[in-house]
Amino acid sequence: MDENQLIEILLRLDQLKIIEYRPPHRVRKLIARNFAWRKDGPVQKFFVNRFVPEFFQSTFEGSGDAFRFVAGTLSSASLSQFKASLERLAVEFEQLARTDARLPLANRQGCSAILAIRAWEFSEFTRLRRMAGRKPTAVAHR
């Protein structure tokens, strides 16, 4: 990308009020780090279709990596409590990122976390349960 292309993009972002561009090389972001996407909006769709598959194509074995998958059945009260815990964890991440933003870039590393919960059952479990619920068909003997 040459400088003219970059400036064109910066001017477009300035028009969208995402950044404030001041030539020749000053940029100030105008949106919060922890903005929310519109549900089913273009950014969320892009994220789900492109980012999530790439993110999970990892062994998560690096020194700064972590991966945990947990599953179970929860009551409504426990589910609400867990969702509140996820929100507190996201707030803590934001606070750490804000604090560390003051450090030189060489002392920081880019990282992302996906914190999610949803009512879900692995499709194979659902299929097996449905099969188990079917009545056996009569087999004709000859």
Question: Which residue shows structure tokens 């996906």?
Answer: 114
Residue 136 has a pLDDT of 58
Q: Model confidence over 57-69: pLDDT tens digits?
A: 999 998 989 999 9
More confident residue, 120 or 41: 41
Percentage above 70 pLDDT, the chain:
92
pTM here is: 0.63
Residue 114 has a pLDDT of 87
User: C-alpha angle 8/101/18, rounded to 5°?
Assistant: 30
More confident residue, 33 or 23: 23
Q: Is residue 51 over pLDDT 80?
A: yes
What is the phi-psi region of residue 107: left when phi exceeds 0, alpha when psi lies from -120 to 50, beta otherwise?
A: alpha
For the chain, what are the domain ranges? Answer: 1-31, 32-133
| 79-86: Cβ within 8 A, 24+ apart | 79/117, 82/117, 83/117, 86/115, 86/117
Q: Model confidence over 64-113: pLDDT tens digits?
A: 899 999 989 999 999 999 999 999 999 999 999 999 999 999 999 999 88
